[in-house]
Each structure stands twice: as structure tokens, then as C-alpha cells.
Amino acid sequence: MGKKIFFITGTDTDAGKTFVTRGLLRAANQRGLKTQALKPVSAGCQRVDGALRNDDALDLMAVMNTELSYEQMNPVAAALPASPHIALVREEKRITMERLAGFCRGALMKPADFVLVEGAGGWRVPLNDREMMSELPKILNIPVILVVGVRLGCLNHARLTAEAIINDGVKLAGWVANCLNPEMIAYDENIQTLHSLIPAPCLGEVPFLADGLPEQIASYFDLSTVL
């Protein structure tokens, strides 16, 4: 098996990208693969010993089983919990997509079998006043895994995001259903509809897990279609 690299995006900011990414990493770990994760851009960071650290990035680092420095894993960080293009400007930081892709290429040179690059927010989140985060997987030439936050309204968000990914010329490798509302009306019917709306294989259906550990989340995935 050659090195597998995927970009993780979501139907919205709180669709559960990091939650699902942790589970996917653990599932790959359990297969004996060398795993790695990148969080190229993060906002909503805290200062730890004078350096900005993002909880989502730290959570991913705790699950992956290869070594990367924090700066390689999360090269662009902002304290303000806002869209990257707003948070970075507020902190007088400017980043271009080409520079961001360069950071990623450097980290992706490290040995690994299975690598997940987690985006920020949804597919069309701006990086700056000209470029969107959706351009990163296209520049890196890597396929996308879509995390669908399953709740009322997810059908529209999922279909629009899938269409945008495909129309951008990026391969949609698969999707994950992540239940956000344990009391959702017509849950099963919505899952069936998602299968018909998204032209890619479903890698797993994760039920509502209030305190999901990576081992729990991993048990709901089938990675055979992407490995």
C-alpha cells in the first residue's frame, strides 16, 4: 500500500471533524499503519508557555503514532476563535495558500502510511481576502473525506458541499455520518437520503457519543474503501 493522504472537511464548523479524524487515525493505528495528522490552520488557540496551542491539534497529536513537532503539525495558529481570515488579520498575521501548502508539503515528507489533513471550518472558509481553504487539497492533489454533522438541515449542507468539492475538481473519497442530535426526528430516513445524495462511499456512521474516545469512534469505521 502506498502512502494515503486525505483532506478532512465538514458540512459546517461544528460537524465533528476533529472527533471523526481522531477515530479514523485510531482505526488506522489498529491496522498497524504509521499515522500522521496535520491541522494547517487553527483559530481559538491558548497560550501555553508563551506559544499558541490549539486543543483540536493537540487531540490529533495524541492519537497519531508518528513524530511531528507542534509547529510542523499546526504551522498557522491564531488566538481569536473566528474564521481564519478574520483571526489572522486581527493578529497581523498574513498567510497565502502557496505558503500554507509549502508548510504542508514539508510535513508530508515525513514517513507515514496514513495521513489526515484537517481543514478549518467548512469547505468554503476563507484563508485570506482572495483564497479559500478549499484550494489546499487541490494544490496538494489529495482527495477529500467529508464529515456530515447529522442534524436537521444536514441534507442540504451535505449535498451542496459534495457538489462544491466535485465541481472544484477534487476527488471525494468518502464521507462519514456523525450524529450530533441523539433525538433527531427521522434519523434513519435522513441517513438513507444521505447515501443517495452523496456520490461517494460511506466510511462509517458514528452514533451520538457524548465523551467519545478514539477507540470507541474507530469501531464504527470501515477503511477498506480508502486503503
Point out the residues that are catalytic: 39
- Give the side-chain half-sphere CA count within 13 A for 126: 11
Helix (H) or strand (E) holding 19: helix 17-30
d(CA 134, CA 225): 23
Note the helical H segments in the chain.
Answer: 17-30, 55-63, 70-73, 84-90, 97-108, 135-140, 154-167, 187-197, 214-218
- Could you tell me if 32 and 1 are in contact, meaning their C-beta atoms sit under 8 angstroms apart? no
Which 8-state DSSP code applies to residue 141? T
Which 8-state DSSP code applies to residue 41? E
